[in-house]
């Protein structure tokens, strides 16, 4: 499995998809498609950050050799360590606004003396104790990241302090949520405001060697994000891609049958 954090640190662009369906089959298919990563969505998708569905999706990612991330549903630190124990390589945490919030979340990701995560070898990420503890701890330190999702204007009020938190490797931006909290989704004012925040964020992260992850919903958006300096692309979501493909397949069938396209 590719270490996506090392790849982004080296200036490479990695790409994946959101998975909102809670389907291990879809996770596995995305892995076989050649993507680098998958973000399993516990905030908006129908699966629990504590349940067996998440375990199954992460297992499917490992089976198809793709890096699994988990979008958490809250700031609950137990969700961070739970995802790490199951074998995720990172978590995306919604609505992170301050350095204090980020520091607390990071403490649940790493073992002492770096963090305060509970030490327990009998978890899937450590192959239930087969992997020597030192090797497991070293891998966690180099291949697990807490990614704050900046989606409220308050997160940008003291952006420097947030980005200067020790141990931060990547951030994500939520443009739709930002727009909704500024001048409304779809307005010219919000589009300009979000673009300014995005540009400032990328520049501040580049100065610090921090990678930016962002979504793209079509190929042109992918090209724009890469040109802007984004190193992690989440290209659409599984349900959107499937819905679009099904609709396109159904149109000619309906036309053939004399119905509405």
Question: How would residue 260 be classed by pLDDT, with cut points 50, 70 and 90?
Answer: low
Q: What is the model's pLDDT at position 196?
A: 94
Report residue 223 as tokens.
């090209």
The pLDDT of residue 138 is above 90:
yes
- Give the Cα separation of 119 and 133 in Å (integer): 9
Q: Is the pLDDT of residue 192 over 70?
A: yes
Which residue shows structure tokens 């989704």? 185
- Write down the pLDDT at residue 20: 95
DSSP label at residue 108: T
Every domain of the chain and the residues it spans: 4-256
Question: Taking 90 as the threshold, does the pLDDT of residue 32 lie above it?
Answer: yes
Distance CA 250, CA 252 (A): 6
1 — pLDDT class (breaks 50, 70, 90): confident
Q: State yes or no: pLDDT of 261 exceeds 80.
A: no
Sign of CA dihedral 247, 248, 253, 259: positive
Q: Which CATH architecture has domain 4-256?
A: Alpha-Beta Barrel (3.20)
Mean pLDDT of the chain: 94
Q: List, for residues 146-157, the tens digit of each pLDDT value.
A: 999 999 999 999
Tens of pLDDT, residue by residue over 87-108, are 999 999 999 999 999 999 999 9
Q: What is the pLDDT of residue 64?
A: 97
CA dist 235 and 241 (Å) reads 9
pLDDT exceeds cutoff 90 at 231: yes
Write down the pLDDT at residue 256.
86
pTM of the model: 0.94
Percent of the residues in the chain that have a pLDDT greater than 70, as a whole number: 99
Query: Percentage of the chain surpassing pLDDT 90?
Result: 88
pLDDT digits (tens, 9 = 90+) for 72-86: 999 999 999 999 999
The answer to whether the bond into 113 is cis (omega within 30° of 0) is yes
Average pLDDT over residues 35-51: 93
């Amino acid at each position: 499995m590719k270490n996506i954090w090392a790849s982004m640190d080296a200036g490479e662009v990695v790409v994946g998809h959101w998975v909102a369906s809670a389907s291990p089959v879809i996770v596995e298919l995305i892995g076989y498609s050649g993507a680098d990563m998958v973000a399993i969505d516990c905030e908006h998708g129908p699966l629990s950050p504590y349940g067996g569905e998440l375990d199954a999706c992460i297992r499917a990612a490992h089976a198809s050799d793709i890096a699994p991330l988990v979008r958490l549903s809250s700031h609950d630190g137990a969700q961070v360590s739970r995802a790490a124990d199951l074998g995720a390589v990172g978590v995306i945490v919604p609505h992170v606004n301050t350095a204090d919030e980020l520091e607390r979340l990071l403490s649940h990701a790493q073992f002492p003396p770096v963090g305060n995560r509970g030490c327990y070898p009998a978890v899937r990420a450590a192959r239930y104790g087969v992997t020597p503890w030192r090797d497991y701890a070293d891998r966690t330190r180099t291949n697990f990241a807490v990614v704050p999702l900046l989606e409220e204007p308050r997160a940008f009020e003291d952006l420097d302090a947030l980005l200067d938190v020790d141990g931060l490797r990547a951030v994500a931006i939520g443009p739709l949520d930002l727009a909704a909290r500024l001048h409304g989704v779809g307005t010219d004012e919000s589009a300009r405001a979000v673009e300014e925040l995005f540009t400032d964020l990328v520049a501040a992260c580049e100065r610090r060697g921090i990678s930016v992850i962002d979504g793209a919903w079509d190929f042109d958006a992918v090209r724009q994000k890469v040109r802007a300096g984004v190193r992690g692309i989440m290209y659409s979501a599984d349900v959107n891609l499937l819905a679009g493909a099904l609709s396109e397949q159904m149109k000619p069938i309906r036309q053939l049958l004399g119905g509405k396209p």
